[in-house]
Chain A
Amino acid sequence: MTYLAKPRLHHPALEHNKLGFTRRDYEGAISTLCAGCGHDSISAAIIQACFELDLPPHRIAKLSGIGCSSKTPTYFLGSSHGFNSVHGRMPSVLTGANLANRELIYLGVSGDGDSASIGLGQFAHSLRRGVNMVYIVENNGVYGLTKGQFSATADKGSKSKKGALNTDAPIDMVSMALQLGATFVARSFSGDKEQLVPLIKAAVLHRGAAFIDVISPCVAFNNHPGSTKSYDYVREHNEAVNRLDFITGRPEIKADYAPGTVEEVTQHDGTVLRLRKLHAEYDPHDRIAAMRYLQERQAAGEVVTGLLYADPEPADLHAHLNTVDMPFNQLGERELCPGAAALDTLNASLR
């Protein structure tokens, strides 16, 4: 980390998006995480994705729990409201916020300690309910802020920096998300921005519960030989099932793809996801097959990444509850208060 203030001056040639913002307008305060932390790469990917999607930064709400990962919302989207809540409870706060105003984009940032241990329940139930959000777990298999204890996603047999062997079975959040009914499930690697940025963009536009598990190595406590969440290990075992080219509008398919290797998925709002298949047999619309594939490849020691499952017609919590279109936080007495006359009728029925 550095104590130097970020310069406000922009290079005049800095690229502008459709809203006239530069990439810098999506940045936040300077990171206080360790140099080389995977989380900073994820923050950069979020910044890139929001910039490329032409999102007005103030229409995004970023929420987090507690931990290194949950500190990161300070480091991106400085013009967005943020909420650093309590440990493991980001999903409930996000759910409530989403109910209050359905028009904003909700970005939940959490870690493996925050979501796989203390917050496992809230992680599960927010996905079950289909809250319209992007839920990113910055997964490093370790408790960083408390200096190196194993987290619940650490693989069985992996070694801590101090040499202790993990004997507990790992929680695979992607498999859980699939089982719990998340309508968009992906896994990526903080060291692979080309894969991660389009996944975040697709997740933002997905109108349902979108979950992305991002393996994000901890340089301070989990980047040593024997760790299965180190840069080297993940690079070596990363098995991407597809590459996502994110496209807004409906552009031409470029001819340089071999037939059968490209699939287009039209999202609810008309945007198109173009998937370049790296494994011909992998079908990202088959939840059950995805679960089986993940288990098999995991048993073989692979870290499967890519867009693992997407439901092109998702329904979210607001749809389930049949709520009005106008955000709740804009409703006033006129819409909410039944008034004195209704009480007269009610009183009469209670005598």
Chain B
Amino acid sequence: MKNTGRLPNIRNLGILLRVLIIANTALALIAFTLSTDLADFFQRIATISALAQPMLLSSLLLLYGGYPLITKLNYKQGLIAILALVTLCTSAIYSLFAQLWVFDDLPALSRILFSALSISAFTLYYFNLRYRAHSPAVTEARLQALQARIRPHFLFNSINAVLSLIRSQPKQAETALEDMADLFRVLMADNRELVPLAQEIALCRQYLALEKLRLNERLNIQWQIDNMPPDALIPPLVLQPLVENAVYHGIEPLAGGGTITIQIYTKLNEIHLVLRNPYSTPKHHQHGNKMALGNIKERLTLHFDLEASLKSKQEKGEYEVHIVLPHQKQKH
């Protein structure tokens, strides 16, 4: 798949919505330019829509069906294919209307084709720009920035905890160091590809084992993941930073500790990740939380566009993060 990303994935709901918005805005602009007053504007937009919407929708429908074929082409061929398809649909609908005498004064085909192709070209240019703004180089830089933000507080405290174990419980110290190595291997890896959910869960468990070492009975975890699809694909490091936030902001400030609840389930072909932790109003300046959330949100958008969402709320001394993402299975 040579052109993944640069050509819009027309099967994605968010992309489809954007195409519709761009095309209809263009139509409205045309109507506005030609019209003399408000009544005229509505009159014109109705006429233009009656002509243009069938062209737009049939093009989109064909593109939707032909998407697997288009992905096999390179970028240039893909562009030509899409524009050819738009030309074909526009001409077909035009000749249909011309034969049926639906409109009294149909504009020349060349002018309609010019408009249709202009709008298509603009839309494709927009998606190309958008892709470049979110290109792997930029994404990677952002990912690396995120990795640098893994709390040094956690690293040094964990090393300190392991040091305290070496004399009295060498076995436990060994396990802790192994967990730490695994954790940092993932944190330092190339994290652009989606990973199975089960892998992210395993990472969280290792991270929590280390925190448990320091916080002991103050840290309780409740996993509600019986209905979780282990092979579903998610962006890596989506859950772990959230768990880390929950420990840092939720559990550590409580002398008696508290419980973090992690709930994962599927509903209507969507995966829901829900994380809850106790939360008391901060007495000190706290930073970093918003940054991690923003970063995760951004990566979800890069991978799933509008089909993924992240919401957080705070009520009755409890903080909740709720992530929804489409259920993508591993390809075999």
Q: Do A and B bind each other?
A: no
